[in-house]
């Protein structure tokens, strides 16, 4: 399994206004997705589809399990 960290930055609508959101989440990927991520440049924009689960039975910390990865096109 390839372990990675994903940085998310966006602006979201909340209570009639805008809120800037910034967070970092741990992730894990296997096989094809692990190969794609390991070859990516640091800071690449990606869209990751998958599911959230706890890190382990003893930890409630969330980990994003990557099922599909698409690299966003840069202009």
Q: Which of 51, 53, 47, 39 is nearest to 71 (CA)?
A: 47
| Model pLDDT for residues 42-58, shown as the tens digit of each residue | 989 999 999 999 999 99
pLDDT in tens, 10-66: 999 999 999 999 999 999 999 999 999 999 999 899 999 999 999 999 999 999 999
| Nearest residue to 5 via CA among 35, 31, 32, 28 | 28
Spans of all domains in the chain: 2-71
Alpha-helix runs per DSSP H in the chain: 31-39
Tell me: domain 2-71, CATH 3.40.50.300, correct?
A: no
Backbone dihedral angles phi then psi of residue 32, each to the nearest 5 degrees: -55, -45
CB proximity list for 1: less than 8 A, separation 6 or greater: 28, 29, 30, 34
């Amino acid at each position: 399994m390839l372990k990675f960290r994903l940085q998310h930055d966006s602006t979201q609508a909340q209570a009639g206004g805008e809120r800037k959101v910034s967070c970092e989440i741990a992730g894990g990927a296997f096989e094809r997705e692990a190969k794609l991520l390991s070859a990516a440049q640091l800071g690449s924009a990606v869209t990751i589809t998958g599911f959230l689960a706890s890190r382990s039975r003893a930890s409630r910390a969330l980990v994003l399990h990557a099922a599909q990865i698409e690299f966003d096109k840069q202009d």
